[in-house]
Chains A and B, each alone.
Chain A
């Protein structure tokens, strides 16, 4: 069994001829102006396969200009697997991502620096001291390995949270660049049995992370069959520049056959055209370059089409996730991925605001609904992210889980069958024969079978908005549950064989 997510009838924002036009535009971009590459190995690989490579020395760091022909791209698209398995410690939690099937799963993100706790304090009215009111108070903490583990435990118990993508950047005093990767993967894997995805901080740590994953998965072959981890690489710096460091990481990961997200995150208005067609043509070109490299390194490398298009805020040029264009870009990218038959790693659910509340709910619900409707196979950023991904709030993640479960119901396919129509007619006739003319008794079986949405889990009494308080209680309830840790003997082996793990993580 695998996690099923939700199958949608995808919203087709782009018409077939528009998809084709964008595809052609992306191919044109790859030859003119081409791609600036700062990684020698990548330039050589592309050159060996017929790409025109020009060495550029015009002041600043030298780079290679790649004029990538259509043939390389079409071969890569053909070679890349159309179905990618993201494994899990509990194989019932694995994800089978089929590029042709618009079945959506939801994941977190995004290595935020801040962790936002929600406290409840009682305030007294200055006007009337008899009036007291409970109010949420927000406390910003830095991301730590302990908090990362707590987020993984939340993920484990929240039904809509299909895959754990590291939520916070771990900034403990005893975390260094050299031990960060093993500790963030371990803290995640030891606290959720769902798929774990993360970026790689140091290339030198790749072997240790893979070795750790092999031990936990049950061996080298088992990890290949059940890849419990995957990596995200942002090898492209928009516009159209292959970065030395992350490109080398992508090359090395591809050699190991671990699933790889080829991610690009241009910002419309600053590092990409703000207009939809220009933005999508560019990001598509950037992702296709990464996919091409992965397949040239190792044909058949499992890759996800990683589209993270944003739009610049016109006030400060930071990312703005609450704007309509964010959704348009992401819907288009999901369509482009399906055009190639590649599983899509998409983006939705972030708020620009710093704290949970009305603005956060409105902003994230737009993309939770609209991007889901587009039918990408994997939506990251979907849980707990605030302040343009700078902050992860676990209470917000609990809220997101409830809201995503509602979105999943909303996008579910209708079931207008002859049998169901007959049942409805029978119901209508029956109710019209009663004095009260109420259908309530017929709600009961639908409510219990899960056919209709259950009551909103965080509803307050007497129509009072207690959402945050109730969500906080739910979070605490989940965190009080026993963690789904790795078996003791496996854990011992991990600590014996993998250098850099913090001893205190044994009990985290």
Chain B
């Protein structure tokens, strides 16, 4: 029974189905439980969050990654699967502490002050959740002080900032300055992204990393996680 439901979770991650209303890549899946219903069901059957994560969600995402590398899957497939995993992780979040399982890390993400463009930030959020991170999304047009307040309250390991416009990217620097003045800069790693910015700009404002796209952002954060742990 346990095996069956974990296999179903894994299969539905591969199909990128969040709920029973979602279609998969194969025909006739609408109406069958998706990852969120299956995760609830697994918890109700006392299957541990660790098994759900490791044998359901992670194994599913591993296969999705392989399919993506093999060019069998496209970015929309990757995002659909990551979204399904992200939703499952939200369901599992209250149970993780009880089970003594630590999340891979908490990340605050925001589009900076004056900028309403949040597609990139949303994609990064989906991918990070899919990769097992807890993501606190502050939205768009977020001023530096709001980010400082969120860091103080949420105590994340990472801050991710996005900007599309050359006129708003300067607020990334302002935010880093505000975090420094608040004594919080050393407590977080800061990663930036968005069409307006570059690796060079990230270095110039004192960010810790730069992601050219959603996938690179996840890789950069994974690398920074390893360096923090070591």
- Greatest chain A CB density within 10 A among B16, B21, B74, B137 is at B74
Contact check, A444 vs B125: say whether CB atoms are below 8 A apart: no
Alpha-carbon separation in the docked complex, A435 to B126 (Å): 10
The interface residues of chain A, by DSSP majority, are classed as: helix
Residues of B within 8 A of A455 (CB): 74
* A15 at interface by CB-CB < 8 Å: no
Contact check, B122 vs A447: say whether CB atoms are below 8 A apart: no
Q: A444-B25, A447-B74 are in contact. Are A437 and B122 (CB under 8 A)?
A: yes
Q: A436-B125, A436-B126 are in contact. Are A444 and B77 (CB under 8 A)?
A: yes
Alpha-carbon separation in the docked complex, A430 to B83 (Å): 14
Residue of A nearest to B23 (CB): A445
Alpha-carbon separation in the docked complex, A438 to B22 (Å): 14
How far apart are A430's CB and chain B's nearest CB, in angstroms?
8
Binary contact readout B57-83 vs A (1 if CB under 8 angstroms, 0 otherwise) = 000000000000000001111011001
Alpha-carbon separation in the docked complex, A445 to B126 (Å): 20
Residue of A nearest to B75 (CB): A440
Residues of B within 8 A of A441 (CB): 16, 22, 76, 79-80, 83
Residue of A nearest to B74 (CB): A447
Alpha-carbon separation in the docked complex, A444 to B21 (Å): 15
Residues of A within 8 A of B83 (CB): 436, 441
* B165 at interface by CB-CB < 8 Å: no
Alpha-carbon separation in the docked complex, A371 to B6 (Å): 56
* A126 at interface by CB-CB < 8 Å: no
Residues of A within 8 A of B149 (CB): none
Alpha-carbon separation in the docked complex, A220 to B198 (Å): 70
Residues of A within 8 A of B96 (CB): none
B interface size (C-beta, 8 A): 18
Binary contact readout B7-32 vs A (1 if CB under 8 angstroms, 0 otherwise) = 00000000010000111010000000
* A461 at interface by CB-CB < 8 Å: no
Alpha-carbon separation in the docked complex, A444 to B77 (Å): 7
Residues of B within 8 A of A1 (CB): none
Q: A447-B74, A455-B74 are in contact. Are A440 and B79 (CB under 8 A)?
A: yes
How far apart are B84's CB and chain A's nearest CB, in angstroms?
9
Residues of A within 8 A of B75 (CB): 440
Residues of A within 8 A of B125 (CB): 436
Residues of A within 8 A of B (CB): 430, 435-438, 440-441, 443-445, 447-448, 455
Residues of B within 8 A of A (CB): 16, 21-23, 25, 74-77, 79-80, 83, 119, 122-123, 125-126, 137
Q: Could you show 10 A-B contacts with beta carbons less than 8 Å apart?
A: A435-B122, A440-B75, A440-B80, A441-B22, A441-B76, A441-B79, A444-B16, A444-B74, A444-B77, A445-B23
A-B pairs with lowest CB-CB distance, top 10: A436-B122, A441-B80, A443-B76, A440-B76, A440-B79, A444-B76, A444-B77, A436-B126, A438-B122, A445-B23
